[in-house]
Structure 1
């Protein structure tokens, strides 16, 4: 019989409080806060823990950085104490807790304004340090061509890898897939595809025409892409030029777009 003093069955509730022992330091917060990291985060998984267990959940991580993480979940912003840690330290912890997207959003600069622009940071490749071309990703990462090398930097602008190409210098680069770059040089013929994950050359494309001897040593001057194609602008020593349409899935030439071949020689 209900006497008016009944209590709900134990279980997770957004108003319940939870204690966390992070690296020996005790934290107390609400389940709604730790659930703010999303259903796939480590902290959200703790919200399924029975509230009958009086012992704090132990997490063997840095408690000082965790206080920044907790503040981020509460307010969607970083506290002033975050300046005590490097961007990489914060990124590593956010990755561990599964809230990298929240940190990325909090650390992102405001929308670009041409009349109010300022330097966010400076990226300096370790070798052959004069950048000649760049390509950016939707996730905020950037690839930088310097000399005959390609260096990759993640959304946090931390160096994640460098590969050496066979080219002496790279003047055009396009991000064809998340791990595949199309590169060209105004001093060497051909368009080349490199795989960052496998650190290998996937193949090359050359503009040739056996019926026209003027089409030789065609160099790439620009590269662009669409969801299904790559567009490469080629230029020959005698100024013949064209744009080749290349299928992304096969890395094969589909067609030759409008260009200029000049007047054919008389025979």
Structure 2
């Protein structure tokens, strides 16, 4: 694309801002920079920005901030094809929300008593905002009392959810089976994440993005889900509880 005229560039910036607002994000700053414009956005507690330059080679976009928001901005401003080609240049492990997105997390893998539980939720921009307003966040930052209070809120707010529980007897049996085959705990956890996410993705056909709270460097779980749901972008990242779908799970 050639360099835009000042009027065409101004029209493009107005259109970009409108797309961002329509997608549910708040524009917290919109200011001129050298050879272009910077648009800063926020969704819940996540923040990101895009610098849009209008140079001799045409429009150039440079993204900064929260990885998930960066990719969403890329999708909005550059189109699905360009976004797919640019995912490798975006932050590794980010998730792209396309209306609906899913997240999964587990609890109990290090407990001496109790069950191993893996949960998955599906949210959209509206339900994610409601969850954030209700106080949903990384459970390590919440008291047990608050977590119990949020249970019904989460179940009644999210688009969909699944909860899989391995009670001690079944957990021990499955762990022995995995260990006998040369596997470790992470493989058992992987089975749980795949199963929990599969349940909600089967029901929510329009969900094309899923994020796993990363507990291993292995990509086996990603490949299993990607093979089963080829239209869904499945990713994993450390400390994914910053994403409200994972936090709710």
Higher RCO (Cα < 8 Å, 6 or more apart): 2
TM-score, reference length from structure 1? 0.27
- More helix as a share of residues: 2
TM-score, reference length from structure 2? 0.28
- More strand as a share of residues: 1
